[in-house]
Amino acid sequence: ARFLVNRDAAFVALLAAAQSPSPPALALSTRCQPWRKPMPVLDSGPGPAFAGAVTLCGLEAKLDDERADERGLRAAGCRALAALTRSRFDRAHATLAASGFPVAEVRRRLDAQQRCEARILDQGADPAEAAQPSAQAFGAILAHTARVAGAERNVEPLSVAGRYLGAMVYTLDAFQDLSDDQAHGRFNFLAAQAGSRRSDAAPASQMAGEIISACQWQIRQAWQAVELLRYRPLLEAVLLVGLPAR
């Protein structure tokens, strides 16, 4: 469990719990670190189950992406880890499907990432298209927390917020990976953006800042329409303050 991005799972679980009519059950846990003092965590229910399954599927997608981008031992390690965790990935898919989450549709969108990048490189397509698979996946995930919690009124604003969140995360990752991607000849969204503009195009840092600011504004607008019963300050500290400051 510690291999996974626990913060992402915690955010999704809290978002679902914040919309649920009933307060979530809490239990004391050391959070996979037995030497630490136990702290209250979400115990069980559809929100934590959905968050855990989404996190596992996110790991699966990351491993697939690494296998496609890397060579040698790193790629072999990704293949081995994917094989070792296949049964857990399958159970995660089953959990998501049982909750009504469109697993196949979201996976198709994520699988389209490389084809999208190829169109940009080979056919001169708009580089902004590269962020769409991540944006659509994030939109589906956040929107589904509303369905899991029985808060259908929040499906649309969370879908919008999730799409812009996905685009922002994709941009942040592209900026952090820019030097390494260029050194290894890998596709990078920001480098492609710069290549599609004039020779005096803004540097990557400025370009990333403009995109992130625009996404943040859209997230704030959509978030205003989301009705929460609890945890709003905590969720906003992560979504509106912490993530943009990465």
Segment 153-173, tens digit of pLDDT: 999 999 999 999 999 999 998
Q: Convert the pLDDT of each residue in 117-160 to its tens digit.
A: 888 878 777 888 889 999 999 999 999 999 999 999 999 999 99
Percent of the chain residues topping a pLDDT of 70: 83
Question: What does the mean pLDDT of the chain come to?
Answer: 82
Residue 98, amino acid: A
Reported confidence tier of residue 32, pLDDT bands at 50, 70, 90: low
User: Which pLDDT score, from 0 to 100, does residue 196 have?
Assistant: 57
Terminal C-alpha separation, the chain: 23
Instruction: Decide: helix, strand or coil at residue 29.
Output: strand
Q: How confident is the model at residue 62 (pLDDT cuts 50, 70, 90)?
A: confident
Confidence category of residue 85, pLDDT binned at 50, 70, 90 = confident
What is the model's pTM?
0.82
Please report the pLDDT score of residue 213 as a whole number.
92
Q: Positive or negative CA dihedral for 205, 239, 9, 28?
A: positive
Angle between helices 6-19 and 46-69 (to 10 degrees): 150
Neighbours of 96 (CB within 10 A): 22
Query: Do 187 and 121 form a contact (C-beta atoms < 8 A)?
Result: yes
Lowest mean pLDDT among 68-72, 181-185, 215-219: 68-72
Q: Are 140 and 101 in contact (CB under 8 A)?
A: yes
